[in-house]
Structure 1
Amino acid sequence: MSAAALSVDAKRQRRLVTPEGISVPVTVASRGARVGALILDFTILFLAQLAVLLFLLWTASGLVEEMIESDSAAMSGAAEFLFVIFVLLMFLFRYGYFLYFELGPRGATLGKRAVGIRIAARAGGRLTPEAVVARNLLRDIELFTPIAFIQTAPSGEMGMFGVAALVWLLVFMAFPFFNKDALRAGDVIAGTWVVEAPRPKLADALSTQGAAAKGSSALTGARYDFGAEELSVYGEHELQTLERLLREDRAETLTAVHATICRKIGWDPGAGDERAFLEAFYAQLRAKLEGDMRFGKRKADKHS
């Protein structure tokens, strides 16, 4: 990687502090990645809407001629019902798609997953439904309404009001280019970031290495065995976070995570052997979660 690329990446580095006080490094997604994700999402939405429309037309082929030839007042009850279903489905596609995927555990739509980005709360906590709803409702002002004005304002049909409104709304569209975190107005309102979430390319599982495999420290010889009650404090989300931090192997971060987990489960093993403690905790938590999943029990995170 060139020095210029490294400099750009460094400018997008941020520190996200979790409610437990752990500082986690994140990289703000580039504007290009966000635009690419949006194009992919709109492509998926267009194809899905087209498929639904064709399906409805196929299942109601007997009403197509009536719907084309009649005005809205003369539509039969069946045709009106079909039209209402179509409108509701388009509404659900427009809003439900983003809400469904961004409220999920990955915090990312299909387009965002494809380019390796996701949404995160700037305060470090969990994404709340309120935040996701707020950032998506603002999309109408930022994107859909400006597009409508772009189509009508130049024609002069709305006069100076249309031109003024177009200029005002274009400010929203340009908003991500005038702040260093590439935040949309929706991100500002909702308190969110869009950050990189690259797919990890891992070699050996952590469970085969060091204290994760033996349960004891090669440095001090201390044995770390955790009970079911202690392991039940955390879930899959925390397990994935811990695995990522162990792979990044930043001493100051591991020390903070070690202190947080010890405080949470009531341990006081002392300092100097943090990595061995965390490796053992990771392996035993992973084994517990995998065992529970075999019996149909899943714990998504510490809140569930």
Structure 2
Amino acid sequence: MAKAKRIGLERRLVTPEGVTLQLKLAGSGARAGAFLIDALVMLAILIGTTLALFAFHAGLGSAFGSLLLILWMLGFFALRNFYFILSESGARAATLGKRVMRLRVIARDGGRLTGGAIVARNLMREIEIFLPLMFTAYSASQGIGDRWAGAAGLLWAAIFLFFPAFNRDRLRAGDLIAGTWVIETQRRRIGTDLLAAAPIAATTPFSDAELDAYGQYELQKLEEVLRRDDRDSITTVAAAIRRRIGRDDMPDDRQFLDAYYAAVRLHLERKLLFGQRKRDKFDAAA
């Protein structure tokens, strides 16, 4: 079980293998901005779909009006749910809004982000936001007598909307149930200087089984460790990798990690040329 140390929005996550990951949780403003962008994207799709259905209605006549209305309602439900689920199921674990705001979703226990967690956190949004807003809109359409019901719907939505601002981990109710965090990410290329600093990889071959022990996610974390060049972290990570792949023929921890980093990176890049992507150590599909 991973352990997390809390300092403001900074989190130091220690995985079961003893590898320390430095994370920063997304702030409420960044999460609100990402949701606003996603809402605008969904609104554009909804408007386009609605115009297309109106065109069909005009061409087919009023006989199919009820059917088109049902299709519109089903499409709206699928859009506001599967847009988030499918986007976060991808390699980046982020919707378009989260990518723009440089955010992504991860599992709080340091493990792989599962499909069940993604579905749970996003279906909860139906209860948190969309259901109370639709209830409020319906109440408002019924006249003055339902104003109190509309106000109750708005209060319901506001409680869930501001829920992340009142807990230390900035968790939505969906995050709390699914066991997820939304963290900030940095856009950067994998450093070519690290490859240039690891010429030993050419004379210290690793087998395919040893290179397949980790994926892109672990490679990025290994790069962070090498760039920080902290002796304790390098010793801990080197010991964890040695145990996993069964190699102890390179006593120098830094040289071993440089060589392994270079070999794994080249190995993963070769696989990508053939359309084989290994996201992390849990991904057996590659």
TM (norm. structure 2) is 0.84
Structure 2 unpaired stretches of 5+: 1-6
Distance 2:179 2:104 in 1: 14
Offset from partner CA, 1:164-189 (integer Å, 9 cap, x none): 56545532222111111111111111
Partner of 2:41: 44
Distance 2:136 2:231 in 1: 52
How do 1:73-88 and structure 2 match up within 5 A?
A: 75-76=63-64, 79-88=65-74
Distance 2:46 2:275 in 1: 35
SS at match of 1:293: helix
Report deviation, 1:294. 2.8
SS at match of 2:13: strand
Offset from partner CA, 1:49-100 (integer Å, 9 cap, x none): 222233344456412xx33xxxxxxx34xx5544443333222211111001
Offset from partner CA, 1:172-215 (integer Å, 9 cap, x none): 2221111111111111111111110121266644212x2x2333
Distance 1:199 1:293 in 2: 20
What amino acid does structure 1 have at the position aligned with 2:258? E
- Please say which of residues 104-113 and 82-91 is displaced more in the overlay: 82-91
SS at match of 2:145: coil
How do 1:115-264 and structure 2 match up within 5 A?
A: 115-148=101-134, 151=137, 152=139, 157-158=145-146, 166-200=154-188, 204-208=192-196, 210=197, 212-215=198-201, 224-264=204-244
What amino acid does structure 2 have at the position aligned with 1:234? Y
Q: Does 2:259 correspond to 1:280?
A: yes
How many residue pairs were aligned? 275
Report deviation, 1:233. 1.7
SS at match of 1:226: coil
Q: Does 2:81 correspond to 1:95?
A: yes
Distance 1:112 1:293 in 2: 25
Partner of 2:273: 294
Report deviation, 1:227. 1.8
Cα 1:99/1:296, change in 2 over 3 Å: closer
Report deviation, 1:269. 4.4
CA-based RMSD of the aligned residues comes to: 2.7
Report deviation, 1:158. 4.1
SS at match of 2:37: helix
Q: Which has the larger radius of gyration?
A: 1
- Please say which of residues 233-242 and 97-106 is displaced more in the overlay: 233-242
SS at match of 2:248: coil
What amino acid does structure 2 have at the position aligned with 1:38? F
Partner of 1:7: none
Report deviation, 1:108. 0.7
SS at match of 1:215: helix
Counting aligned pairs with the same residue, the percent is: 43
SS at match of 1:118: strand
SS at match of 2:123: helix
Cα 1:15/1:60, change in 2 over 3 Å: same
Distance 1:137 1:27 in 2: 25
Structure 1 unpaired stretches of 5+: 1-9, 68-74, 217-222
Q: Is the 8 A contact 2:190 2:223 kept in 1?
A: no
TM (norm. structure 1) is 0.79
Report deviation, 1:270. 6.8
SS at match of 1:195: strand
What amino acid does structure 1 have at the position aligned with 2:208? A
Cα 1:126/1:172, change in 2 over 3 Å: same
Q: Is the 8 A contact 1:156 1:162 kept in 2?
A: no
Q: Does 2:3 correspond to 1:23?
A: no
Q: Is the 8 A contact 1:17 1:123 kept in 2?
A: no
Cα 1:95/1:205, change in 2 over 3 Å: farther
Q: Is the 8 A contact 2:121 2:174 kept in 1?
A: yes
Q: Is the 8 A contact 1:24 1:253 kept in 2?
A: no
Cα 1:245/1:61, change in 2 over 3 Å: farther
